[in-house]
Amino acid sequence: MKRFNTTGTCFPNKHYMVDLTERVAAIRAMVDNGDYFCINRGRQYGKTTTLEALANALQQDYVVFSISFEVVGDDAFLSEKTLAKAFIDSLGRQVKFNLVKQLTDKLTDVIGKLVSVPLENMSLPVLDELISDLCLAGEKPVVVIIDEVDQASNYESFIKFLGLLRAKYLNREKMPTFHSVILAGVYDIRNLKLKIRKDEEHSYNSPWNIAANFDIPMELSKNGIAGMLADYEADHSTGMDIDAMAKLLSDYTGGYPFLVSRLCQIMDEKLQKTEGFGSLSECWTKDGFLSALKVLLDERNTLFDDMIKKINDFPELRQLLHDTLCTGRRISFSQDDKPQNLALMFNFIRNDGGKVAVANRIFEIRLYNLFILEESRRNPELNSAGSVERSLYVKNGRLDMDTVMERFAVHYADLFGHRHGAFAEADARQCFLMFLVPIINGTGHYYVEAQTRDERRMDVVVDYRGDQFIVELKIWRGEAYREHGIEQLCDYLESMHMKKGYLLTFNLADGKQPGHHVTNVGDKTILETVV
């Protein structure tokens, strides 16, 4: 029986996975064209699985060596000799374990001779000749795929190795060389100065400027996810609404492969062991999805650990993500900006109509929780108010959002009412989230609707045990602006098929009295809280 996989390479006969046929065909077109290129994506973005499928697709028409620098060890990159030897030995292991098709006796003999060259005789000029000998011996063009190149990117020897490949590429009409070279990793090899040790980071420039641009989408599409779910449904007959489930997965993950697979894995393997889900059919519902989402957001995994490590390693990256989420400023997207370039390389952000946006809703929630936790340490009063009085807000297992809004107004007035205009808009928003998080923590979650996040408006969507609440946060700028805000909220409620919404207005200057007001607009009810 197949299962969802979140560790290592996925194989179609063992794992439920999105059909990669179109993606592999697009990459193969680059190989057929003789391109040298890099596949750079964030951690657990499906790179290795894609390379495995690509290698299989190329085997009939090319001699394909698919190796990984992850297994050679750091010692291999300490010198030109050790790197050249490690590279040749990696090719030899591919032959030894029958992983290379289209081998002729001549090519096998050449590989054997290359492997037998002792370390003391190795150098990059020797490797240059060996590559030519190898490519001459093959009856078909030779393609080399190198995964996990990040393992080598701290070393000067690797820079020189790339220089060798570049020189051979530029001289390819005169001297035999690889038909195509594909490098895969997180860091863009064309920007190695970002990864070189700090004391040397300005000393080297990557010679990999021959690389063709790789702009083939690697995220999973909604239709691709639906196809994977149809495969699963054929085996398990859960009765799930495949299209609706695929949309939920796509909306929350942005197609990030690990996040899609992990949510599916939780619904398939873990939910039946928790209260409220007695059958697999109950797991594959919206309630099941939201419960799986809560499990994912609460767990530690390699992807989240790596994200936190990256924002701690790069303070400018942390600042970019914080400003994007918490200040309401719409930051213009530019790949020339170093923090944005880093965030884009790690797949933490995306280009949203020329503005910076966090890559997916799950990353947003995780980062919001981190930033709010940090802020709550600086302002513990509001955070503790929500935690201490939690029993007031949850009644018979359901969240009473009316009471949440009323009590927030009380605590806000006590703690911050005297600050008025000196209180920044971003601070006002964070105050509400600091109050909300301890109330719903452990059972519910929230996210900020990306389409409404700007300097004037931000919609917070709260999910709690299957109930959803929409809270629009606005800064008071006059009655006309308030009426427009109510109209916007009603439109959003209509799109979400909901009848009731909440408008939280922050009065940062004189002109609006605090209090609660109920407004009916058609069949919609708006509870407005002014603080």
DSSP 207-232: S-TTPBP-----SPPHHHHHHHHHHH
406 lies in the same domain as 521: yes
426 Cβ partners below 8 Å, 6+ apart?
Answer: 326, 327, 328
430 lies in the same domain as 338: no
Task: Indicate whether 110 belongs to any domain.
Answer: yes
409 is in which domain, residue-wise? 377-530
Task: Indicate whether 365 belongs to any domain.
Answer: no
138 lies in the same domain as 86: yes
Q: What average pLDDT values come out for the chain (531 residues) when binned by 10 residues?
A: 94 97 98 96 95 96 95 89 95 91 89 93 94 92 95 86 95 95 89 54 68 95 98 97 98 97 97 87 94 92 95 95 83 92 94 93 92 79 65 88 92 71 61 86 79 63 89 84 86 91 82 81 94 86
58 lies in the same domain as 172: yes
Task: Indicate whether 161 belongs to any domain.
Answer: yes
| pLDDT at position 445 | 85
Pair of tokens at residue 147:
């995964």
The radius of gyration computed from the CA coordinates of the chain, to the nearest angstrom, equals 28
Q: What is the pTM of this model?
A: 0.88
73 lies in the same domain as 189: yes
Residues 463, 446 contacting (CB under 8 angstroms)? yes
Overall number of domains in the chain: 4
Pair of tokens at residue 346:
């790690």
The alpha carbon dihedral of 472, 475, 479, 481 has a sign of negative
Q: For the chain, first and last CA: distance in Å?
A: 56
CB atoms within 10 A of CB 123: 14
Task: Indicate whether 395 belongs to any domain.
Answer: yes
Task: Indicate whether 7 belongs to any domain.
Answer: no
Task: Indicate whether 135 belongs to any domain.
Answer: yes
37 lies in the same domain as 105: yes
Least Cα distance to 496 among 519, 471, 474, 520 occurs for: 471
Task: Indicate whether 400 belongs to any domain.
Answer: yes
317 lies in the same domain as 290: no
| pLDDT at position 422 | 47
441 Cβ partners below 8 Å, 6+ apart?
Answer: none
336 lies in the same domain as 437: no
| pLDDT at position 193 | 55
Task: Indicate whether 208 belongs to any domain.
Answer: no
280 lies in the same domain as 329: no
| pLDDT at position 114 | 92
| pLDDT at position 473 | 87
231 lies in the same domain as 343: no
